[in-house]
A and B are shown apart, each in its own frame.
Chain A
């Protein structure tokens, strides 16, 4: 079955860049009508959408993160990635990747999630 798996460093120093990758297994990232989303959850807090990216590379970002955020897709590796620059302690969170069906009439929900990866920003 299709699975998503986040990967990346668990510890990032303040002011540095956080880079995470989500690997899609069990199907081509190009199969079906989907886009790919990042969602984060600060410790003990609720969920926050970070941004989403189409297979074409077009991306939409949470306005609160837009100036520091870049999302991309690598179809040759069946992966999509997140990059956040100038991180602070406020970026410490569990980061989840997820899949969003976008077929005709599809309701923009997150039908498949990765297990998440915890990123801590600390010196």
Chain B
């Protein structure tokens, strides 16, 4: 199984919006609305920021939003803040009852 494709890095200035893409196939992203996104700061466990494509867990800033079109999903962070600097991973449940993670994107706040 190949990992979901994400850009290695994305950067933006404080206050700007950035979007991270996540590309899969019709056996994973395209198969279900089971895409989730995780934020990971250095030395910390990942944290759920988006689930089921576009839902935010309680306590996650509304600056985080998600969407999906066909076999690709995306995470948008609006009003970028210094605390958003982290690695971000998408994941999808697949039609084989397995999981695929994205390759990971390092977000840098300039």
Contact = CB atoms under 8 A, between A and B. Distances in A.
Contacts of B93: 107-108
A114 to B, nearest CB: 7
Nearest to A97: B45
Chain A binding surface, main DSSP class: loop
Nearest to A46: B104
Interface residues of A, number: 19
A109 B55 CA distance: 11
Contact of A111 (B33, B57, B97, B104): B57
B5 to A, nearest CB: 12
A49 B33 contact: no
B8 to A, nearest CB: 11
A60 B3 contact: no
B64 interface: no
Nearest to A114: B45
A107 B34 contact: yes
B52 interface: yes
Contacts of A96: 45-46
A109 B103 contact: no
A46 B47 contact: no
Interface string B3-36: 1000000000000000000000000000011111
Interface of B: 1, 3, 32-36, 38, 45-48, 51-53, 55, 57, 89, 91, 93, 97-104
5 closest A-B pairs by CB: A107-B52, A109-B36, A108-B93, A109-B51, A49-B99
